[in-house]
């Protein structure tokens, strides 16, 4: 079987760990309201939203939600809120991959380790795809960039 695309990997990881987000009970209850409100406000202001924008809000951290809710007040475009284009794409393939991997690590393990984040920032596209595949295989964050 061929190598999975970044989109397939992110969708698989998202589906696999989505139930973990909801299993966190009270924490998700506190976060679900702001997510819903931000999505409603975005739709009211910008119309139909690209799936990438919706996913970004659904998977954003509490800090992200707070930042976006403040930017939403006077932002002229989605790009000025999220750093994405109107169609939901990021400012470049590498940056989108870096964001996806950091979010997956946060979803899976509930934290973002500074050395791992620094390694993500320095990684090539191939290294990022490999790291995402390793997350699917159950590797720990500190092992994602090890040579084997």
pLDDT of residue 141: 83
Q: How far apart are CA 49 and CA 62, in angstroms?
A: 21
Model confidence, pTM: 0.42
Average pLDDT of span 90-111: 72
| First and final C-alpha spacing in the chain | 21
Q: Look up tokens 């590498």; give the residue.
A: 94
Q: Which residues contact 14 (CB under 8 A, 6 or more apart)?
A: 55, 59, 104, 107
| DSSP state for residue 25 in the 8-state scheme | T
Query: What are the angstrom distances between the C-alpha of 140 and each of 25, 64, 113?
Result: 24, 24, 11
DSSP-assigned states of every residue in 97-115? HHHHHHHHHHHHHS---HH
What region, left, alpha or beta, does residue 77 occupy, with left being phi > 0 and alpha being psi -120 to 50 degrees? beta
Task: State pLDDT tens for residues 35-64.
Answer: 889 999 999 988 988 877 888 888 877 878
User: Which DSSP category does 3 fall into?
Assistant: P
Provide the pLDDT confidence category of residue 90 given band limits of 50, 70 and 90. Answer: very low
């Amino acid at each position: 079987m061929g190598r999975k695309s970044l989109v397939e990997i992110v969708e698989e990881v998202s589906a696999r760990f989505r139930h973990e987000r909801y299993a966190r009970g009270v924490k998700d209850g506190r976060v679900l309201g702001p997510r819903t409100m931000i999505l409603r406000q975005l739709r009211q202001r910008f119309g139909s939203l690209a799936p990438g924008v919706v996913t970004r809000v659904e998977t954003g951290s509490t800090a992200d939600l707070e930042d976006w809710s403040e930017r939403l007040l006077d932002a002229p475009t989605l790009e000025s809120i999220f750093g994405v284009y109107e169609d939901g794409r990021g400012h470049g393939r590498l940056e989108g991959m870096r964001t996806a991997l950091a979010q997956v690590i946060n979803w899976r393990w509930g934290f973002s380790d500074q050395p791992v984040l620094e390694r993500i920032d320095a990684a090539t596209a191939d290294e990022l795809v490999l790291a995402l595949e390793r997350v699917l295989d159950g590797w720990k964050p500190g092992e994602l960039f090890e040579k084997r």
